[in-house]
Each structure stands twice: as structure tokens, then as C-alpha cells.
Structure 1
Amino acid sequence: MSAAPSVSVLLPVRNGLPALARAVTSVRVQSWGDWELIAVDDGSTDGTSEWLRAAARADARIKLVAQPARGLVTALHAGCAAAQGRFIARMDADDECHPERLAAQVELFERNPEIGVASCLVGFGGDRQANAGYALYVDWLNSLVTPEQIALNRFIESPLAHPSVLFRRELLERHGGYRDGDFPEDYELWLRWLEAGVRMAKVPRELLIWHDTPGRLSRSDPRYDPEAFFRVKAAYLAQHVVRLGRREVWIWGAGRPTRKRAAHLEAHGLKIVGYVDIDARKTGKAVAGVPVVSPEELPEPGAVFLLGYVAKRGAREDTRSRLARRGWHEGRDFLMGA
């Protein structure tokens, strides 16, 4: 009986035939040859299943798991159950690996045994002008490399591109795997594992092309709507703040969208006791009995805990700069949440 491979590449797919050959080929040419590819066909009707069966006959390392159309999370569960490797790599049918991807990520694990999830930088495979918002997200994503950067910024947005990760299989048993619900399954997983103390890092090289296709679930599924991100992050952000010994928070940003999104925190036991805003038209007033003050009127660091909920381009950096000049320490005195 042959030994189990060290890496299981998990590729769930539904009707992915147009780009599937490119994705599978990019796995087959990996310099790290000790892998298996678990392709989970989630009820495809375009010939995807037939193509994968033929690929499996040609390469014994490719394994097909076929199921009726039950959705991504069910497909991920089926793939994780079938995987034999010590490490599980994610891959999507419309993306493309660099030949050194698996080797570089395994090496990161070997050099850093305390790391539980290894990711990498990703290339934006789309029109940067037509999809500027997505491209800027990729730029932000690629700025987070170290465990500290990833942990500190996790409440802003998902800090990892799902198809770029390699994680230790043991994490599934220790902290649980993907959950199904009205939220992005990957972001919820990262938040849960990070709160459990799992350290995550990236190989500082571009090892995956993340193609921005019209059919990507993040564009069409309500689970990836911006409000879904705010809902799921609120639960873990509140949990983290309570673990820091705080229950009362100030919110940087007093506009209506900010207040609406920050209100999710109150459903998880936090109390908003103040807002901060740079707009003089808002300061000196109260919103639902909660005062709105200027940055200069903030108490000294340590007296209150602050969450930054500003999302306008450049506003987050400005907020961090203002707080740092006054001696506020990110992670201890404040966190950015949007």
C-alpha cells in the first residue's frame, strides 16, 4: 500500500470547465511532487465531471469526489474527509498556481513549526481599471505577510485569499472546520482559528494568480455581501475585545453607515459609549444619547478602548497616524474594524 501524500490539494468545482484544465495543470506541474488533488464536483452540468474522470484516469494522483449540487461548504467537507495529506491546500477551478507554490509553503511550515496556516502573495488576474475595488483589496491583502500583521488586521477584511492557503490538517480536529451559514465560510474560519491562537503567515512571493471572473461566488452569493462580513466579524471582534478585559468601546466614525455596522457589536455584549469624528458638523452632538467628539477630545490611551470603523480610502491610515501620535498602541488601545 502506498504512503499517503504529504499535501492534499482541495479543489471544489461546479461548472468550471472553461478554466479547469489551466487550474489542474498548474497543480500537476508543481515542483513539490508529493501531492494528491481532491476534486469535488458539486453537481456540474457542463462536462466538468467527465473531464475530471478522464484526468483521474491519466494521473492517479487526481481523485474525483462527485456529489449532487449541495453548495461550497458541503463540497469542502467532502474534500477534507477524503484528503489524506498532513497539509491541505485550497485551490479554485478558475485560479492558477505558480510551479513553486506548494514547495514554498511546505518550506515555510518546516522553517516555522509554530505556523498553522501558510498563504502567499497573490496576483490579481483581472482588469485593474474596471474592477479597481477588488484590485485594491488584493494590494491590501499582499501587504499582510507576518503573523502579527495578519492578526492585527483581521477585523478589517479577510486577510487571506482562500485559494492561496495551505493549512495543517490537525487544525480541523482541534478547532473545527468550515461552517455553513449566512456568512463567508473562509473568513469565519480564519477569524475562529486566529481567536484560538493559530498563527498564520505568508510566503512573500506571488505564487497564485487569483482570477477575477464574473461567476466568482464573491460577486453573486449573498454570503459574501459586505454586510455579511460585518455581521460575522462583529461576533469575533466582540469576543476579542471582551478577552482584552473591555466591554465599553468608542467608535471612530459617526456617519450613518458606520453606526449601522458598529451596532452589530451591541448584539454581542459590547456597549458603545462614544463616537469620534473629524467632521466638525458632527462633533459636540449626541447620537441616541451617545456623545460625538473630535479626535482632540478623546481620553488618554488606556482610559477607553477604541474601534476604527472608517473605510474611506486613506481614512484608516489617517486614523492610525492620529492615534499613534497621541501614544495609542494598536492591539492594546485600539483596533481597526472596517
Structure 2
Amino acid sequence: MPVPAVTVLLPARNAETTVAAAVESLLEGTLRDVHVLAVDDGSTDGTRAVLEGLAARDSRVEVLEGGGRGLVAALNLALGRSVSPYVARMDADDEALPRRLEASVAALEAEPELAGVGTGVELFREDQPVSPSFQAYAAWLNGLTSAERLFRERFIESPVCHPSVCLRREAVVAAGGWRHGDFPEDYALWLELMDRGHGMRNVAEVLLRWRDSSQRLTWTDPRYAVRRFTWTKAHYLVRGRGPLADGRPCTVWGAGPSGKTLTRFLREEGATVERFVEVHPRKVGTRIQGIPVVSPDELGPPERERGHLLVCVGVRWAREEIRADLAARGWVEGRDFTCAA
């Protein structure tokens, strides 16, 4: 049997109302040379029967028993069964647009330095409008269409939509696949791949309809809480290709909840945080977590600063103002400072 160009890893649990549309959207795409490994992960509804019906009608679909061990185990089970050079992800309630796999494979074939690509996404839900914050996140993600920009912004938020991604199988296997832990498995994998020297980017074309719902793991599983994302950032900021990997001290711009949480995790990882930078006059001159708080005016030119600056301000417009201010003063993003929220 010929090796398919792409194997799609599709875990499903209690998704009988949506999984057929998800699988069919892949089978009907412009790339026909595809194998769908659908993992029934302990469903108690009719998901298994739907999947078996799809497999009976199309030999490109294979159903695996996941045993209810969770998303990471289901993904690694399917990864271990795949033989294609590329593995793609898909969730059981999303819908791929026709060119999704074709465009993803074309990008990976053209750019061998990439370990994977995501795609542009269109958010949808049927019960209420998608929240403005989630829409803003999708707009940011859809703009990360170069490996350079995605690498530069990798510590702001997870820079790739997990169910849109297509990856080089050998790169994922070498990185250990998806890892179990008290952290977001997808974000950890993206950072691990980039830490190993691989590039990633998003295809500019919108090629996945990404469903939002109140039951998404992003909203219900504690591994995807903001705190666990922050821990993941701290872990990779201080290792490998991270800006603090050489042991330099750092300054954290932002002494709000995000900055304080990141600082706590950085110190647990062995990093030295020398200062907070704050614009709030009541904070300037105080100490937070024993660390002095200074105003932005007290930052010198980058050549006089011995450490690295982490901008940990979650409000997008404020982050852009800080970027512009630092650039005007000669600071270079990636070399002198990194945005981390």
C-alpha cells in the first residue's frame, strides 16, 4: 500500500454530532492522498459508530481505540501508527476548507527549514457570537505568516492554532511527540520545535473553520489556564535558544498580574530578575517580590544595559506603544528585548 502524503491525527470523544463533517471536510479536500487516523477516546455516545461508518465507506479512514486516556495519549497513539512524512492535526468539531492540506504540504515542501505550518483560521460558533478577545487572538495568529515574525512573537501567546497544523513527522518524533504534563501540550511542542532550531509559520490563507464552544478544553482544562501558559514561557525563556539561556539577568516591563507571575516562574527556573519597569507612579520607587520598580525613563540605551528586557504587558495597544518607544530609543526586538505577554 503506498505511503500517503499526509496522515491526519483526529482524536474524538463524544463528538457524534460533528465528527462526520470534520472527517468529510478532509476527505473532500483537494489533496486526495490522505490517511485519517481517527482515535475514539472513550466515547459514550455514537461517535464510534459514526467513525466506523466513515471507515466502511472510505478506505482512507482508520479508527483506533484510545481507551479514554486523554488528548495527549490519543495523539501519540496516532503518531506512532502514522508512516507519512507529514502529520496534520484536526479536531472532531472543526471543518477544513478544501485547500487546507494541499497548501500546508506545498509550504513545507518549499521551505525545508520549517518543522510545521498552521493556517489562517475563521472562528465560528452557533449559540452566540465569538468573544472579541478570541477574535483578536485569531487576527494576531493569522498575521504570523513569516517564520521570523512567529519566532519573534512566540512568547506572547501560542502562535499556531493546534487543529490547523501540519508537521514534519520526523521533527515531531525527534522532539518526543506531545508531552504529558501540567501545561498546554500544543504550545510546549511549538516552543520545543523552535528551541531545536526549526521554523514555524502560518499559511496566510484561511483554511480552517475553528469552532469555539463552552466545552473546548481551552476553557475547561486547567492545563490551558493562563498560569500554565506563563510557566511554559518561563521554561523556554531560560533554555536553549531562549533570550535568557546565557544566564543574563533580565528586567520585566510590567508589574501587573502577568509580570509578577512570569517573574515568579522565571526565578523558579533560575533566572535573575533585577528590576520591574512600570508607568504607574504609585509603583515606581517601591519593591515587588523584593525587586525594585523603576520608571521607563530609567532604562538606558541598550548598549549600557547588561541584561535582557522582557515586555510583559498583555494589552495589545500598550504593547505596541512600548515596542515603538523602545525602537525609537535604539532597542532591537529579539536582541535587546522580547515580548512575553
TM-score by length of 1: 0.96
CA positional deviation for 1:112: 1.4
SS of the equivalent of 2:39 reads: strand
Q: Residues 251-270 of structure 1: matches in 2 within 5 Å?
A: 251-270=252-271
Q: Are the counterparts in 1 of residues 258 and 312 from structure 2 also a CA contact under 8 Å?
A: no
Partner of residue 333, structure 2: 330
- The unaligned stretches of length 5 or more in structure 2 are none
CA shift, 1:159, in A, is: 0.2
Specify the alignment match of 1:145 in structure 2: 145
Structure 2 residue aligned with 1:192: 192
Q: Which stretch of structure 1 is more off in the superposition, 220-229 or 301-310?
A: 301-310
How do 1:59-78 residues align onto structure 2 when only pairs under 5 Å count? 59-78=58-77
| Partner Cα distance (2:161, 2:188) in 1 | 13
Check if 1:89 corresponds to 2:88.
yes
User: Helix, strand or coil: the match of 1:269?
Assistant: coil
1:91 CA displacement: 0.4
Unaligned runs of 5+ in 1: none
Q: Residues 236-251 of structure 1: matches in 2 within 5 Å?
A: 236-239=236-239, 240-243=242-245, 245-251=246-252
Instruction: Tell me how far apart the structure 1 counterparts of residues 201 and 79 of structure 2 sit (CA, whole Å).
Output: 22
Within-5 A mapping of 1:129-278: 129=129, 131-239=131-239, 240-243=242-245, 245-278=246-279
How far residue 138 of structure 1 moved from its aligned partner, in angstroms, is 0.8
Distance 1:337 1:56, change over 3 A: same
CA distance in 2, matches of 1:9, 1:194: 22
- Aligned-residue offset at 1:336: 0.7
Partner deviation per Cα, 1:118-175 (whole Å, 9 max, x = no partner) = 2111111137855222111111111111001111111111000000110111113322
| Corresponding residue of 2:282 | 281
The one-letter code sitting in structure 2 at the alignment partner of 1:264 is F
1:176-226: CA deviations, max 9, x gaps?
210001111100100111111111122210000111022211111111111
SS class of match (2:244): helix
Name the SS for the 1:207 alignment partner: strand
Note if contact 1:17-1:48 (Cα within 8 Å) is conserved in structure 2. yes
Q: Output the CA distance in 1 between the equivalents of 2:99 and 2:184.
A: 28
Residues 130, 30 of structure 1: alpha-carbon distance in 2 compared, 3 angstrom cutoff? closer
Q: What is the rounded CA distance, in whole Å, between the counterparts of 1:24 and 1:260 in structure 2?
A: 40
Aligned structure 1 segments of 4 or more residues deviating by more than 4 angstroms: 127-130
Give the superposition deviation at 1:262.
2.0
Cα pair distance change 1:154/1:176, threshold 3 Å: same
Shift of 1:263: 1.3
TM-score by length of 2: 0.95
SS of 1:242 mapped into structure 2:
coil
Residues paired across the two proteins, number: 336
Shift of 1:241: 2.5
The Cα of 1:317 is off from its aligned counterpart by 0.7
- 1:309 matched to 2:308? The reply is no
Shift in Å, 1:81: 1.0
Distance in 2 of aligned mates of 1:252 and 1:209: 36
Instruction: Report the equivalent of 2:48.
Output: 49
- Counterpart amino acid of 1:188? A
Alpha-carbon RMSD across the aligned residues, in angstroms, is 1.5
2:230·2:261 contact (CA, 8 Å) conserved in 1?
no
Q: CA deviation at 1:237?
A: 1.1
Structure 1 residue matching 2:17: 3-state secondary structure:
helix
Equivalent pair of 1:262/1:309 in contact (CA under 8 Å): no
Pick closer, same or farther for the CA change 1:285–1:126 going to 2, 3 Å: same
The amino acid that maps onto 2:85 is R
- Check conservation: 2:253, 2:310, Cα contact below 8 A: yes
1:98 is matched with 97
